[in-house]
């Protein structure tokens, strides 16, 4: 047997058909669906008289578009309402399991899969959403697809795909207190760039990765797409198995599953196409200053000077980013005043994220100059947080406690920034207008978000 | 869905001198609420179109069908609405030195041809169309060339995708011919793999 990387093993096990000069036909173990990228796919099935081949490998939730206030009232925006109603009608017609607003398992699609135990090692997982890479934290090949491909998977449970190359990112060492997995991934993207992972499946390796909790691993894999990668994954280990154990859809024949999962690692003599090293010991809390996730720096740094970039297109991009962000070169990042703090999203909307932020704000008040939105990743996360009293911690500090959804991460529902408004956000994209037209986004970890909420300017807990 | 065949297209170019144009710029999320594949042209580059100096607002570039974009076009979200917005607006081809993977996959599934050329060639095309916006650009999938004026540039595209585009073939129809292979694969799938149904709680 040729030695293989983890990604190559999983890929090979899912090939339905292979032919010269054609993409591999890959079997898909799980298809996640939401309201925004599926209506046209279901329409396509109807127009061609096709059905959903495996409703039992398909699951839907309402997340991108839904309000986070008054969720049991009819959705106020008629266009949003039509989209959600369309998902409900499609799931009913084709027999697809759906978790609607008000249901305990409603929430951001990438929070829902893992919390149900449906995301497991060695799987192929797709969704019409680029942050599907989140599920790679379990040692699965998980990637985002477009609506045409959603239709393809619905009809055939397969996808013609060309195998990406493999990249290892080795993160050795240990993180200092106050430094999180969000800082690891922001540092990686700053290092390799938004196109650095293009055409690759990244495997995150090394002692710093193995030391992370499952939820922290999900944060790392989630943002693989921001480095341009097709997917990102982490070999499963005891941490993974413990997390799945006891979840509603954990395997009934546990021993058989576990025996298989334990074969899922990169062989010691396997070769990656590219390897990148990062030292965890040196990492500091990271924050973005620009309009793509690669434009990030340690929080102690200053806003960069575009003139310092040797590459002309990077220089132009930096100039444009500073203009859009309303920043002046040389300003300490810690002096940037923030208007809104957003804690949530598929990147950092899980219970551990809420716990770590709550720890920072507990018994304190957020700055009077800003608002803070706390949006749990799912209704179940919200209930768990309430059971632990975290809702009270946030509310007492002056934050808003919302219902689950994608919310301000992409500004599709009413949770948006106004023109010129500046956020510190635990989400994944700082693109122009991402959180609302004219809004300015700084990507941060939950710890930095919480400290920033208290101090009113970009901060880490150490600055308090 | 079936798509229109793409063999050869001739049109004028629109120089978009920006790199890292993400899908939130191509079409912001608030425009993604439609349940159809049409009508997305109003959201195309919505934030930038408020600026009278933006290239699509210049009369000489209004009827262009070949978008000449900077590097890393289409990064970010998987929204196929970005492809539909470009197509609904009238674009047939996008040329860039580098495309994000998901955007490129979506475009080629939907019949919007994305052509990769070296950055120096993209810059030469920017200069040519800015000097003369009526410059005719021909993109020929048969010969795998982009030509304008006296210049002809070869581009690479894999044989399978090219064949599918030139025939306007429905990908799903092709895969459904392999149903026997899919059935056989499912026969030997491990029983411990999870299912979403029946619901367990």
pLDDT digits (tens, 9 = 90+) for A330-366: 999 999 999 999 999 999 999 999 999 999 999 999 9
Cα distances (angstroms) measured from residue A436 to each of A156, A197, A409: 37, 27, 9
Q: How far apart, in whole angstroms, are the C-alpha atoms of residue A166 and residue B173?
A: 31
Cβ–Cβ gap B98/A79 under 8 Å: no
CA distance A209 to A211: 5
ipTM of this complex: 0.95
Contact A17 B79 (CB under 8 A): no
Q: A264 is written with which tokens?
A: 């899922």
Q: Is A266 left (phi over 0), alpha (psi -120 to 50) or beta?
A: beta
Scanning B62-81 for CB atoms below 8 A from A yields 70-72, 75-81
Of the candidates B75, B80, B81, the beta carbon closest to that of A194 is on B75
CB atoms inside a 10 Å sphere around CB B138: 16
pLDDT of residue A59: 98
Q: Do B200 and A438 touch (CB under 8 A)?
A: no
Tell me how far apart the alpha carbons of residues A276 and A287 are, in angstroms, rounded to a whole number.
21
Name the band, by pLDDT with cuts 50, 70 and 90, for residue B141. Answer: very high
Nearest CA in chain B to A154: B172
Is A21 part of the contact surface with chain B (CB cutoff 8 Å)? yes
Q: Write out residues 77-106 of A within 8 Å (CB-CB) of B.
A: 77, 79-80, 82-83, 86, 97
Per-residue pLDDT tens digits for A315-328: 999 999 999 999 99
Min Cα distance B71 → chain A (Å) is 9
A252-280 pLDDT per residue, tens: 999 999 999 999 999 999 999 999 999 99
For residues A430 and A443, is the Cβ–Cβ distance under 8 A? yes
With a cut of 90, say whether residue B3 has pLDDT above it. no
- The Cα A231–Cα A233 span in angstroms is 7
Contacts of B83 in chain A (CB under 8 A): 146
| Residue A404 reports pLDDT greater than 70 | yes
pLDDT value of residue A213: 98
Average pLDDT score, chain A: 97
- pLDDT category, A1, cuts 50, 70, 90? low
**CA neighbours within 13 Å on the CB side: how many for B37?**
17
Q: Which of A148, A158, A253 sits opposite B106 (nearest CB)?
A: A148
A329 has pLDDT over 70: yes
Contacts of B176 in chain A (CB under 8 A): 50, 155-156
Mean pLDDT, rounded, for A54-61: 98
Has this prediction a pTM greater than 0.80? yes
User: Does residue B198 have a cis peptide bond before it, meaning omega lies within 30 degrees of 0?
Assistant: yes
Nearest to B14 by CA among B118, B120, B133: B133
Name the pLDDT band for B2 (thresholds 50, 70, 90): low
Could you read off the pLDDT of A357-399 as tens digits, one per residue? Answer: 999 999 999 999 999 999 999 999 999 999 999 999 999 999 9
Residues of chain A with Cβ-Cβ distance to B102 below 8 Å are 130, 144-146, 225
Per-residue b or e along A38-77, where b marks 16 or more CB atoms closer than 10 Å to that residue's CB = bbbbbbbbeeeebebbbbebbbbbbbbbbbbeebeeebeb
């Amino acid at each position: 047997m040729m030695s293989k990387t983890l990604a190559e093993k999983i890929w090979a096990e899912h090939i339905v058909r292979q032919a010269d000069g054609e993409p591999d036909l890959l079997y898909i173990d799980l298809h996640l669906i939401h309201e925004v990228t599926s209506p046209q796919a279901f329409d396509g099935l109807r127009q061609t008289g096709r059905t959903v081949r495996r409703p039992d490998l398909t699951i839907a939730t309402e997340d991108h578009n839904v309000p986070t206030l008054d969720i049991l009232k009819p959705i106020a925006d008629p266009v949003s309402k039509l989209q959600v109603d369309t998902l409900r009608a499609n799931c009913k017609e084709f027999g697809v399991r759906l978790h609607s607003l008000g249901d305990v398992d409603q929430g951001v699609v990438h929070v829902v899969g893992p919390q149900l135990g449906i995301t497991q090692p060695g799987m192929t997982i797709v969704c019409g959403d680029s942050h599907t890479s989140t599920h790679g934290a379990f040692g699965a090949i998980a990637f985002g697809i477009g609506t045409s491909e959603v239709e393809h998977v619905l009809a055939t449970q397969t996808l013609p795909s060309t195998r990406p190359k493999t990249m290892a990112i080795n993160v050795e060492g240990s993180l200092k207190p106050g430094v999180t997995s969000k800082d690891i991934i922001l540092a990686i993207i700053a290092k390799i760039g938004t196109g650095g992972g293009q055409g690759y499946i990244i495997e995150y390796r090394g002692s710093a990765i193995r030391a992370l909790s499952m939820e922290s691993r999900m944060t790392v894999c989630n943002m693989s797409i921001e480095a341009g990668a097709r997917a990102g994954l982490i070999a499963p280990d005891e941490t993974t198995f413990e997390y799945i154990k006891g979840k509603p859809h954990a395997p009934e024949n546990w021993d058989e599953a576990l025996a298989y999962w334990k074969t899922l690692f990169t062989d010691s003599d396997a070769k990656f196409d590219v390897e990148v090293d990062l030292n965890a010991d040196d990492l500091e809390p990271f924050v973005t200053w620009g309009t793509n996730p690669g434009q990030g720096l340690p929080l102690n740094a200053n806003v960069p000077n575009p003139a310092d970039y040797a590459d002309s297109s990077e220089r132009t991009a930096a100039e444009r980013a500073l203009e859009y962000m309303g920043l002046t070169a040389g300003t300490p990042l810690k002096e940037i005043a923030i208007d809104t703090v957003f804690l949530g999203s598929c990147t950092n909307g899980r219970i551990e994220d809420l716990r770590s932020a709550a720890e920072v704000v507990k018994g304190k008040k957020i700055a009077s100059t800003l608002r803070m939105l706390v949006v749990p990743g799912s209704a179940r996360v919200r209930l768990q947080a309430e059971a632990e009293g975290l809702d009270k911690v946030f509310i007492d500090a002056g934050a808003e406690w919302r219902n689950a959804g994608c919310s301000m991460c992409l500004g599709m529902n009413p949770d948006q920034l106004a023109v010129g408004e500046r956020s510190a956000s635990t989400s994944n994209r700082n693109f122009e207008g991402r959180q609302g037209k004219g809004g300015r986004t700084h990507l941060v970890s939950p710890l930095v978000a919480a400290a920033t909420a208290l101090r009113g300017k970009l901060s880490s807990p150490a600055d308090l | 869905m079936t798509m229109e065949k793409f063999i050869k297209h001739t049109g004028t170019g629109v120089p978009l001198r920006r790199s890292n144009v993400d899908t939130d710029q191509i079409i912001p999320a608030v425009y993604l609420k439609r349940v159809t594949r049409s009508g997305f042209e109003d959201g195309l580059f919505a934030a930038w179109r408020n600026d009278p100096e933006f290239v699509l607002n210049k009369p000489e570039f209004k009827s262009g069908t070949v978008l000449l974009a900077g590097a890393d076009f289409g990064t970010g979200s998987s929204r196929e609405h970005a492809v539909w917005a470009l197509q609904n607006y009238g674009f047939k081809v996008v040329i860039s030195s580098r495309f994000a993977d998901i955007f490129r996959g979506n475009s080629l599934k939907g019949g919007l041809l994305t052509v990769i050329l070296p950055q120096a060639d993209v810059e030469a095309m920017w200069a040519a169309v800015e000097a003369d916006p009526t410059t005719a650009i021909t993109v020929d999938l048969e010969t795998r060339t982009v030509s304008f004026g006296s210049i002809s540039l070869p581009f690479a595209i894999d044989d399978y995708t090219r064949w599918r585009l030139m025939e306007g073939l429905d990908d799903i129809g092709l895969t459904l011919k392999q149903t026997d292979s899919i059935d056989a694969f499912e026969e030997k799938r491990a029983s411990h793999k999870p299912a979403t149904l029946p619901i367990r709680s």
